[in-house]
Amino acid sequence: MTNDTDDAKLLEKEMDNEGVLTSDLQSEESENDEIRPTDIVFDCPHCGHNLAIDYRGAGLQINCVACGRPTLVPIPDGMKIDDLDLSPGELLTQLFQTRRMMLKNEQRIAELEETLASVKIRRTELEKARMTTLHRCAELVGMCQSGLKLQGDMANTLNRMIALIAEEQQR
């Protein structure tokens, strides 16, 4: 019985021998832009973009690389879905790849959740700082308004004093 580490090593070895794993049909197309005789070439029914995919993608639903909408890969004439059944070795390879991708994705999810938690904490801190700043600004506005009122009162008082002095000088 093998463990996951042995499975991963076997998978890497098989990847080195085969170049590209069979279950990653769309990335296989993007990594190797050459259209092979075994590829299925068809147009997206939504946007008309020309697509090519490995024959093992026949009957699958993929997203168009141009418009992103789901598109059904046609099954070529004379081909049966049973023709696409994989050998036990290919299935094992795909299983190992799927496990490996799942592990990587679980690690990425954990990283993203950690980042999200820290962003939420930072957001809470920033919201508190914002509220403190808003309260301080309101207090400063109140002080400025009081200062302006006092300035106006002082100007009125000084004008009244000047008027009284002027009256006294005229007597």
Residues of the chain with pLDDT under 70: 1-33, 81-86
- Range of the structural domain that residue 39 is part of: 4-115
| Distance separating alpha carbons of residues 136 and 2, to the nearest angstrom | 66
Tell me whether residue 32 is in a domain.
yes
Q: What is the pLDDT at residue 75?
A: 84
Spatial separation of the C-alpha atoms in residues 38 and 76, rounded to whole Å: 10
Residue 81 lies in a domain: yes
Confirm whether 62 is domain-assigned: yes
Count of domains in the chain?
A: 1
Residue-level pLDDT at 88: 78
- Residue 123 domain flag: no
Quote the pLDDT of residue 35: 82
Query: Which pLDDT does position 90 carry in this prediction?
Result: 80
Residue 148 lies in a domain: no
Whether residue 50 is contained in a domain is answered as yes
- Residue 119: the pLDDT is 98
Does some domain include residue 157? no
Is the pTM higher than 0.75? The answer reads: no
pLDDT at 59: 83
Q: What is the pLDDT of residue 49?
A: 93
For residue 21, the model assigns a pLDDT of: 34
Question: Does 65 fall in a domain?
Answer: yes
pLDDT given at position 77: 80
DSSP state of 87: P
pLDDT of 58: 83
Cβ pair 66, 47 in contact under 8 A:
yes
